[in-house]
Structure 1
Amino acid sequence: MSSRHLVEPDLIAFLDAMPTMTLSADNLAAIRAARDGMLSQLPPFPETVSVEERHIPGPAGAPTVRTKIYLRKEGAALRPAILHLHGGGYIMGNPEFMGPQCALWADAFDAVVVGAAYRLGPETRYPGNVEDAYAALAWMIAHASELGINTARIAVAGESAGGGLAASLALLVRDRGEYNFCHQQLIFPMIDDRTAVRTDLSPIYGEFVWNNGSNHFGWTSLLGQPPGSEGVSPYAAAARAESLKGLPPVFMATGALDLFTEENLDYAKRLMADGVPVELHVYPGAPHAFMQVPGARVTRAYARDAMAALGRALGAERA
């Protein structure tokens, strides 16, 4: 059963131009290259924002972590901050792809935004990705004076695998007890490896952009074992956590046609039951990555909701 008739009309051209294909070891290199080739099509950043690349210390015994740092040029002495983790199924992507969004945040909220190029599978298995993200947070806090970061106002954000990594990092930060986030911005997060082996999932979910074949490959590449196996760490798949108590407030958004809809709804319900403040949005007619069509009605609604929530969490009025 196709879900095409449910797709928001102004997203149809996007889906036709980006046919769904299942990722595998055979085509991963080509798809990575094609995705990187799209970077030249991204819009320019606001002239008010500066961008700097830094290679910061990684976890012990690991390579440095490449980061992009976005700042408003004429900013306040003390600013909120956002650690952004990019999407890509844990197997592809880079911080540049969401550079326009990071620059917008830096400009709109006068925030320090750090995008981290965490290591990817299958070349690097878990816990390489989450330890890289933790190292980026540790560096931000260690260099808070230099960067002008208000350490009481640091949010973590990400889309898809980046949203899943953000959720896992929030768990790791809670459990290690060294640092704190004020907010999680989880956009159709990839948080449950068990979705990849479900046989009862409605065909309405995941027909477009990211299907369960790609999902199975992404999780296998990250975990180094079949998804759904026993003993998967919650720092790899946040939905595996036994308790969500004590986590920072969450803004979560997903599309009604996304493969991750059910796992996202389940996670949101568990967060609420454990006393975590949650703002949840499910956008009708929206598949995975729908906001790549900025003019679509549903994208405009998402952008309004997400920016408002992030601004409130950071204590920053939009400039």
Structure 2
Amino acid sequence: MIHLPRVGPPPPFDPELAASLPAIAQAVPSTIVPDMIPALRQAMAEASPTDEDLRRNGAIDFEQRRIPGPDGAPEVPLLICRPHATTGPLPAVFFTHGGGMILGDNRNLLGEMLDWVQELQLVLVSVEYRLAPEHPYPAGLEDAYAGLRWTALHARELGVDPARLLVSGPSAGGGLAAALTLLVRDRGGPPLAGQLLACPMLDDRNDTPSSHQMAGVGAWDRTSNETGWAALLGARRDDDVPAYAAPARTEDLSGLPPLFIDVGSAETFRGEVVTYAARFWQAGGNAELHIWPGGFHGFDALVPQAALSRQARAARLAWLRKRLRR
């Protein structure tokens, strides 16, 4: 017999955010199953920012590169954004987009990151990694690592200060960024100044109290989470799942760069994020944890004008400013 965690009803949503949920559900259902993936990919591609959106009325310059893939794999596309007419060396954020490992590209939901480019005068390198289920683990992670390593090796060419390079990502991209820090530590570089993980997807076991509470509720529910993990891992289960695929499984969180991690109180990933932060501190790490009351998954990207969204983004900006100070 399976014993489910004892949980109460879902925590309440922030009222301002809750008012937006019906409209959000029309575009992004709370429950995603495999048959929906092609249509959702098409919809996200159609909503992708244009070149003019990236330029921000001339405030940002951008270029697109294709770098060698890992071990003979296809080339990896990078989108590189920098403040207009600036000279280096500038700090840099290596960004891994969200999308449950099944959706998105390197232009996915870049609004907040373009704000960082302007406000912090930094270089943004956004990687387009291969998606599951066509390309299961470790394809996406190895693409991201190839992009990160290339960025560090070409720091001078890019006008980047290699001592002020950090990784960041939301949702699945947050899980990838966490995995990158493990790879960097275990493969001996490149060194990182920090990791900023927004509502990261960390634990394939999908069995926390919050995952059960939020089944069928909000955004990216327990079934959606199973869809993403099953696509990424294929037949891998239990002891066959490496920590580089699901960072919550790592036994050693020591020796990692400083961590900013946040999550909504009313979302599937609340439990695994809180546990990850607690284990990070237990290992002696430097971590800052925020739990946004009433926030559903990805609330600040989906409802950026809400007061709670502005608070979350201000907290991330403040942490970045501190970590990237010369």
TM-score band w.r.t. shorter chain: over 0.9
Alignment-derived partner of residue 150 in structure 2 = 139
Superposition pairs of residues 221-232 of structure 1, within 5 angstroms: 221-225=231-235, 228-232=237-241
Which is further off, 94-103 or 55-64? 94-103
> What CA deviation, in whole Å up to 9, does each residue of 1:259-302 have, x standing for no partner?
00000000000000101111110000100010121111110110
What SS does the corresponding residue of 1:287 show, helix, strand or coil?
coil
Q: Which residue is equivalent to 2:80? A: 69
Q: Give distance in 2, aligned partners of 1:135 and 1:232.
A: 22
1:51 aligns with 2:58: no
Checking the alignment, whether the CA contact within 8 Å between 1:205 and 1:257 is kept in structure 2 is: no
Query: Offset at 1:75?
Result: 1.8
- Whether the 8 Å contact between 1:156 and 1:185 is mirrored in structure 2 is yes
Q: How does 1:164-179 map to 2 (within 5 A)?
A: 164-179=175-190
Corresponding letter in the other structure for 1:15? L
1:26–1:206 distance in 2 versus 1, CA, 3 Å:
closer
**What is the Cα-based RMSD across aligned positions, in Å?**
2.0
Q: Does 1:16 align with 2:22?
A: yes
**Residue deviations 1:44-94, cap 9 Å, x none?**
643211111111111011001111100112223211111000000000111
Which blocks of at least 5 consecutive residues in structure 2 are unaligned? Answer: 1-7
* CA spacing shift, 1:82–1:237, aligned 2, 3 Å: same
Relative to structure 1, the CA distance from residue 69 to residue 206 in structure 2 (aligned partners, 3 Å threshold; closer, same or farther) is farther
Q: How many residues align?
A: 313
Q: CA–CA distance in 2 between the matches of 1:205 and 1:313?
A: 36
CA drift of 1:13 comes to: 3.1
Structure 1 unaligned segments of length 5 or more: list them.
none
Residues 211 and 222, structure 2, Cα contact 8 Å, conserved in 1 = no
Q: Distance in 2 between matches of 1:200 and 1:74?
A: 46
Alignment of 1:298-313 (within 5 A): 298-313=308-323
How many Å separate the matches in 2 of 1:276 and 1:224? 32
1:130 correspondence with 2:113? no
Kindly report which structure 2 residues correspond to 1:1-319, keeping only aligned pairs within 5 A, or say none: 3=10, 6-19=12-25, 20-39=29-48, 45-46=55-56, 47-195=58-206, 197=207, 201-204=211-214, 207-225=217-235, 228-291=237-300, 292-315=302-325
Structure-2 change in CA distance of 1:21 and 1:255 (3 Å): closer
Cα separation, partners in 2 of 1:284 and 1:63, compared to 1, 3 Å: same
SS state at 1:194 partner:
coil
Q: What is the CA–CA distance in structure 2 between the aligned matches of 1:28 and 1:90, rounded to whole Å?
A: 11
| 1:199 Cα offset (Å) | 7.7
TM-score scaled by structure 2?
Answer: 0.91
CA–CA distance in structure 2, aligned partners of residues 200 and 299 of structure 1: 21
